[in-house]
Structure 1
Amino acid sequence: MRVLSAAVVAALLPALPYDALAAAGTAYYVDSKTGDDGAAGTSAATAWKSLARVNAADLKPGDTVNIRRGSRFKGSLTLTASGTAARPIVVRPYGTGTLAKISGMRADCVVIRGSHLRVSGLWASRCRWAGFLVFGDHNELSAVAADHNVAGVHITASGSHNTIRDSVLNDNDRMSVNDAGGDNDSGAFGVLLNGDDNLVAGNVITGSYAKSADYGADGAAVEIFNGDRNLIIHNTARDNETFTELGARKGRTATGNVLAFNVVSSALGRGSFLVTRGPRHPVGPVRGTIAVHNTVSLPARKTIGWSCHDGCSPSILKLRNNVIAVGGEAGWEDGQGADEDGSVYLGRTNHFKLGPNSVVADPKFVSRTDLRLRPGSRAIGRGLRLGPEWFGGRMITQDAAGESVGGAPDAGAYQR
């Protein structure tokens, strides 16, 4: 699978208006190369050397922790303090070079226990379990990178109203459980969501794929387990075993999650876009999942567009305005079946009832790597007009490339 170099990761991550996030608090500085833990830490010239000094600092709303690019740390950055909506605590990079890298198999690399923190410009690699582990609420991860973890980012059950945006989550390819029998292998998550009302937007997620004793391979760009009302939008996903798999422990829910305007492709020999479950499954039912305006290209034969099994029904899955081209099964349903319409499908087989405005046809992508539509595509103008109820109550007006969504929309993540 493709491995992104540090230079490529840095190029993909956007420059952010960090100064706008800070609000007249104390500024601290950390530099692993020239810093000194005995220094004041309040200027670049008196920077601390270790994350331990940050972990012990009495951070207040409006404070800023500036971490020098090119720094390297072993261990964990643990943020327990909380900011406020008006005065968040900000962790951001300064200087030039690659992102500051945190690694070490003895601990999760960045642990956020507080709320209203804005963390950007860090690289979490080969950590104990998660690159970024979030327990709090109303936090934001932006322009971060994570690789070779069990989970690049893990939002725990207590984590709500958090945002993961504009980040690169590459080759999080390790399993948490990988043993023969038991139907219990899991791991290789770009993002794992156990909490509610989180936003995953504008990220590049690649290589969430690992060998599995139970399944042959496992992994997901965005795994949702026991999480409600999460919005997964405008992400680019490549070479993941699955884009999204949903489940809930009995007595818990994973209700009302929305996938919109995501671009999903893979050169792997197997894979899927969406897997969800009805009430007969051990981790079902997963109710109210909505998938709208996604574009999917999985050309290998051992692939499936979407699967809604063990008691599928419209209350389990609704699909609108997608373009799904696979080398295997375009979609699979049982029971009453999903509520599907306004889409274009291409596959060797399909096992679902097409909606009245859906068709089986070649979507005519520009190329194998450019999934925009060529003239003459039957996806052009095929989409149905969708209100905010299809997007978790928000009105989404831009496609995957930032173009406006018109009144007669095209199917898929790209509008002409």
Structure 2
Amino acid sequence: MHTKDLNLDQLLEHAFALRNQAGIKYTSFENLIKASEIFNEALKRYDQIYNTYKDIPIHNDLIKINREHIRYEKYNCLFIYYHRIHKYEKSLANFQLANNHINNTLHYINLLEPSIKDNIREDFLYDKNRWTYYSLQLSSQYYFVMGDFEKCKNNLTASLDNYKKSINEQLVLLETVKIYLPYLEPHYERLVLANYEMVISNYAIVKSISLGSIDKSSKLYGTILIETVTELWNAYVHTINSIYIFPEIEQNIVVAENQLTKINNLLSKNKNLWPQFIAKMKQDDAFIENLKSIDMKNYKRALNNGGHIQMKKYIISGIFTLISISIIFALLATVSNLLTPLQFFLMSGVGIVLIVITSAIQLKISGQIKEENFMKLIQISLDKYFKDLKSIIKYFKK
């Protein structure tokens, strides 16, 4: 059916259906162009209505609001379309137009709201809340597109900054969507959460790129490659999370497959580094299972090598601790005859604290204690020593 055969409501319904389909199905992005053309046709109909009822102020004010909203929809479709085909400058130009029109929509709504009659107030406020959310959503999309644009230009720092802003905007949107959900389709909350995961995924991808390529002969090759794969794996995990949350977006499956292929290629070409990968990612069961699926024999070999490396760490840290304790007790034995009882007790307290600290350092080196717990153990040791110090001094003053 030709669009000229549709009335205004049917025209808009058709345009929104095309827009929504393209929003979920990435390969249907041509529907965004069709939707923008239909929205443009709807604008012409609104102009005719506006001219017909120009002597009725309240009616014309409502038409003015709806026209601004449809202009937003038209340019928002073009904003998304040009982003998907990587024409970023055109995308951003249409963002500016979409942003202007959604802000104009809200401006006219706020001006008209006091004069709205009770019989249409509920519908009026419904649209106001819905469009307020669209305005907030648009801001988050802008920073995401800017992140892609800067990445395309190889401005990686600027790309990371924009993705970070988009992440922050998405966090706000995650809370905001709960407020506006009564005015939106039920899937919007899942969609926002899925988009949040994908922004983090893109952020991690750019971090992996920013580490740069490095020659195998470099001493830093292994360290940088491990960090690169770690960031790529982080991106992959967030993409998978997005798929679980909102499986309707088929493109994310393609993205995840490409990410995993890239990770596995790097792992396959650098099997000598698997002991280090296992040591770094041993808490990530999915990563470990992925290593096994690539080459089980090499995984077992790497696991054994990793065990030898870890044993060396234990031996070195153990020797360090024993030497430290021996030195401390030797010093205490040497000075015991030269000190008063109080001084000897103070020295002993210091020695005990030092033993605890060296033991904590051993645990830290061997990876058996986390950074925050390491600091807590040191703090507890010092607190305990200084807490008991006053009572010891009082005892010897008696």
The alignment's TM-score, normalised by the length of structure 2, stands at 0.26
Length-normalised TM-score, structure 1 = 0.25
Larger relative contact order (CA 8 Å, sep ≥ 6): 2
